[in-house]
Structure 1
Amino acid sequence: MQYHRIKSIEDPYFAKLHQLLQTIFPPEEVLAYELWKEPLEDPGIHVYAAVHGDEVVGSTEYRYYPDMKVAMTDFTIIGRPSMGIGRFLMVNRERDLARLAKESGTERLGMFAEIYDPYLASIHEFGGVTPMNPLVRREVLSHMGYKRLDFGYVHPSWDHEGQAVEGLDLCFLPADDERASLPAQLIVQFLTTYYSALPNKPQAWLEMIEALRSREQVGLLPL
């Protein structure tokens, strides 16, 4: 299996990746094909495909923010079961993030991820791929060490319609497993930076940000 970085919508593997995204995720979670042009050309956004033969069988997208010392996993896709794709993506992503932290002279606090609540997201079939089932993924991510941030979470839809997307938790994988909370200001800084590319913010998201601004710390709870 090859860990291949996609830097352009002209990459022959991008069309296959976008098709996989549409197969796995609900429509409001998938950025339109043509709108990928600028993100893929952004050196701070890392989109990698797991290529087996001539097929894209998995993918992961992530970012590292040296000023905040945190990473974000935008998505991890497993397109087929029983191929070790999840492990392959995780190991290569971790190696690359360690490189990015070293090059920036920083030490990671941890990594954010939006994780589906299986009881709210069960309506999504996720391409019929068993490893992508929300129940399975949540348990795997819990084993990895991800913890749920203690506040009600919504995010703006990636289809640019400005809708509030629910059914997910904002979670964090702390570098220090004993960490019990995160500064609320760090979460605000991260979310406002991460979603700065989306001009239409739903009212529920704005209210969530304002509520976070009034807090000192946000607890990290078991998934």
Structure 2
Amino acid sequence: MEYIRVQSIEDPNFAAMHELMSSIFPPEEVLAFELWREPIADPDIHVYVAVYEGNVVGATEYRYYPDLRVAMTDFTIIGVMGLGVGRYLYMQRSLDLQRLQSESGTESIGMFAEIYRPQAVSSYKFGNVLPMHPAVRREVLSHLGYQKLDITYVHPSWDHEGRAVAELDLGFLPADETRQWLSAGLISKFLKQYYSALPKKPREWQEMISELDGGDEIKLLPL
């Protein structure tokens, strides 16, 4: 298996990845093909595909914010079962994040991830690959050490329509497993930076950010 970075929508691997993504995630969670042109060329956005025998069988996107000392896993896609795609992506991503920390002279305090609540998305079809089912993914992330932040979480839809997507929790994987909270200010700064590419923000998102700006510490709870 190969771990290959994708930095252009002209790359055939991107078309295969976008098709895979569109077959798994709800439409409001998938940025339109052409709208990827600029972000995928951003050197700070890391999009990699797992290629097996010439086929894209998985993908992951992540980024690291040295100023905040946090990472974000945008998505992980497992396209086929029985090849160890999930483990492969996890290990390769971990090694690359270690490199990014070393190059920036920083040490990460942890990694964010948006995690679906299975009971809230029962009407959605998450592809035909069992590992991508929200209940399975949530349990895997729990095994890895992810917890959820004690906030009512929403995010702007990626279809640029500015709708509030509320079927997820904001998760965090602390580097120190004894950590029990995260600064509300840090969460706010991260979310403002992460969603700066989306011009339309729903009222619910703005209210959530206002509460974080006025808050202190946010508890980390079990998934």
The answer to whether the aligner puts 1:42 opposite 2:42 as a matched pair is yes
TM-score for the superposition, normalised by structure 2: 0.99
Aligned to 2:127: 127
Aligned with 2:35: secondary structure? helix
| Deviation of the 1:30 alpha carbon | 0.3
CA distance in 2, matches of 1:121, 1:213: 29
1:123 Cα deviation after fit: 1.7
**What's the counterpart of residue 187 of structure 1?**
187
Give the superposed CA RMSD: 0.6
Residue equivalent to 2:69: 69
The equivalent residue for 2:57 is 57
Q: Does 1:110 align with 2:110?
A: yes
Tell me the residue number matched to 2:201: 201
Separation (CA, whole Å) in 2 of partners of 1:198 and 1:104: 27
Within-5 A mapping of 1:150-161:
150-161=150-161
State the partner residue of 1:33. Answer: 33
C-alpha displacement at 1:83, in angstroms? 1.1
Distance across 1 between alignment mates of 2:60 and 2:151? 26
| 1:97 CA drift (Å) | 0.1
* Equivalent in the alignment of 2:86: 86
Whole-angstrom distance in 2 between the partners of 1:43 and 1:120: 34
Query: Who is 1:210 aligned against?
Result: 210
Equivalent position SS for 1:126: coil
Residue 101 of structure 1 corresponds to which residue in structure 2? Answer: 101
Partner of 1:197, secondary structure, is: coil
**Which amino acid in the other structure matches residue 118 of structure 1?**
P
Percent identity over the alignment is 63
Structure 1 CA distance, aligned partners of 2:121 and 2:3?
A: 29
**Secondary structure at the residue paired with 2:119?**
coil
Q: Deviations over 1:123-161 (max 9, x none)?
A: 222112100011111111000000000000000000000
The residue identity in structure 1 corresponding to 2:216 is E
Task: Specify every segment of 5 or more residues in structure 1 that has no aligned partner in the other structure, as ranges.
Answer: none
Deviation of 1:12 after TM superposition, in Å, equals 1.2
Structure 1 stretches of 4+ moved >2 Å = none
- State the AA in 2 paired with 1:134: P
The one-letter code of the counterpart of 1:66 is: P
Q: Which residue is 1:15 aligned to?
A: 15
> What TM-score, normalized by structure 1, do the two folds share?
0.99
